[in-house]
Amino acid sequence: MGTEKVEIFDTTLRDGEQVPGCKLNTSQKLKIAARLDELGVDVIEAGFPISSPGDFKSVFEISKLVKNATVCGLTRAVRKDIEIAAEALKFAKKPRIHTGIGTSPTHIKYKFNATEDQIIERAFDAVAYAKTFVEDVEFYAEDAGRTRNEYLAKVCTAAVKAGATVLNIPDTTGYCLPEEYGQKIKYLKENVQGIENVRISCHCHNDLGMATANAIAGVMNGARQIECTINGVGERAGNTSLEEVVMILRQHPGLNLHTDINPKFLFDTSNMVASEMGIFVQPNKAIVGTNAFAHSSGIHQDGIIKNRETYEIINPLDVGVTESAIVLTARSGRAALAYRAKKMGYELTKLELDSVYTEFLNFADKRKEVGDLDIHTIMEITRKNH
């Protein structure tokens, strides 16, 4: 049986860039958009055109530049927003307008001071108006994570009737449990009229550290698009991380789902976005953190040296990392020391290794990490003493 495709909707340049300190100028955005296109994302959300002249310009320029991906612009359910987004997207080969409105009781009461029926009308009107400019219209039900499923299905049915091609179900506040989010998607698949012609999209935030788990629960229950960002950057605790969902689907062929992302570009793309945004990646970040393929305890190092698969479920080369790192610390054993020494040109007999190892531990106890220069020094000291 062939596997089904999950589309990757990258929102690094919109939801990712909303973060304090992440601001990018147009030329940085163009550089990142070109890389995302090469990486193989299906949709690039390039910005929120009405929000500022700079964002309009970025969406406009990205639309002209991008060759393969759909280029998307965000709007509220407001006519002026939709007109400006359509203008910014007018040169895109594949334009998409992403419009929507808050649907949870909190949003309806405090943001809109409206009734549920009024929100349904506004959702319908926004999608129908966006359809007068572009064929591809994605509807988002903001705070869907805290919206009753029965009401959410009604709003989504209205959006589909108005012509939405994609239904985005955001867990805006990162509140849902994976099972709950998965059940929400399943419920919509079963209860939204006309759903068979529409793609459901997962848009999950990471406030409780569950953005990736929730997106995966979504696709396991029938969603076929994931909205995510490079390095998981985004509002507050961030969005679903692109590299994580791509590798989860790849490492679990039993799910029968795939993406068109070229994983070999993941590490470089992560570095590029981190340096352009000036937001550095935590070392223990899955897939792209500097420690993701680094081994420092003696037991693990011994295993890795014998066979990489003892402690690695991903070949680092697959994501563009040249090799696993064996980091020498006071927890390292003889095998790791001999391995590193050999790489540096020192072939040690068993007896030599014993004395070098004793000296190594003296060094290691005083440092966080023992580097190549330290190894040269340890070799000299050991030679002098014997």
Binding site for Zn ion (CB under 5 A): 15
Per-position x/- string for 292-331, each x denoting binding to ligand KIV as judged by CB under 6 A, each - no binding: ----------------------------------------
Single out the residue of 16, 73, 170, 316 in contact with ligand KIV (rule: CB under 6 A). 170
Q: Which residues have a Cβ under 8 Å from the Cβ of 324 and sit 6 or more positions away? A: 293, 294, 295, 304, 308, 312, 316
Name the residue nearer to Zn ion (CB basis): 166 or 292.
166
> Is there a contact between 24 and 14 (Cβ–Cβ < 8 Å)?
no
Per-residue burial over 292-331, b if 16 or more Cβ lie within 10 Å, else e, is bbbbbebebbbbbbeebeebbebebeebbbeebbbbbbbe
Number of residues that bind ligand KIV (CB under 6 A): 8
> Is there a contact between 233 and 20 (Cβ–Cβ < 8 Å)?
no
Single out the residue of 172, 221, 259, 382 in contact with ligand KIV (rule: CB under 6 A). 172
Q: Rounded to a whole number, what is the distance in angstroms from the first to the last CA of the chain? A: 65
Distance CA 150, CA 18 (A): 31
Interaction residues for ligand KIV, span 191-250 (CB under 6 A): 203, 205
In DSSP terms, 138 is beta-bridged to: 98, 166
Q: Hey, what's the torsion of the CAs at 206, 68, 265, 30, to 10 degrees?
A: -70
Query: Minimum distance between the CB of residue 138 and Zn ion, rounded to whole angstroms?
Result: 13
Q: Which two tokens stand for residue 352?
A: 């030599």
Piece of the chain touching ligand KIV by CB under 6 A; list 20-28, 166-174, 177-185, 351-359? 166-174
Query: Minimum distance between the CB of residue 324 and ligand KIV, rounded to whole angstroms?
Result: 36
Piece of the chain touching ligand KIV by CB under 6 A; list 112-120, 167-175, 264-272, 332-340? 167-175
Name the residue nearer to ligand KIV (CB basis): 95 or 170.
170
- The answer to whether the Cα torsion of 28, 30, 33, 39 is positive or negative is negative
181 binds ligand KIV (CB under 6 A): no
Can you list the positions of beta strands (E) in the chain? Answer: 4-5, 7-10, 43-47, 70-74, 95-102, 136-142, 166-171, 199-204, 225-228, 257-258, 294-295, 325-326
Single out the residue of 9, 129, 139, 140 in contact with ligand KIV (rule: CB under 6 A). 140
Residue 336: which H helix or E strand, with range? helix 334-343
Name the residue nearer to Zn ion (CB basis): 19 or 299.
19
Distance CA 200, CA 140 (A): 10
Name the residue nearer to Zn ion (CB basis): 15 or 55.
15
> Is there a contact between 177 and 143 (Cβ–Cβ < 8 Å)?
no
Q: How far is CA 77 from the centre of its chain?
A: 26
Q: Residue number with the shortest CB distance to ligand KIV? A: 170
Q: Residue number with the shortest CB distance to Zn ion? A: 15
Name the residue nearer to ligand KIV (CB basis): 237 or 299.
237
Single out the residue of 6, 8, 10, 15 in contact with ligand KIV (rule: CB under 6 A). 15
Single out the residue of 17, 37, 42, 142 in contact with ligand KIV (rule: CB under 6 A). 142
Among Zn ion, ligand KIV, none, what does residue 104 contact (CB within 5–8 Å per kind)?
none
- Footprint of ligand KIV on this chain (CB under 6 A)? 15, 140, 142, 168, 170, 172, 203, 205
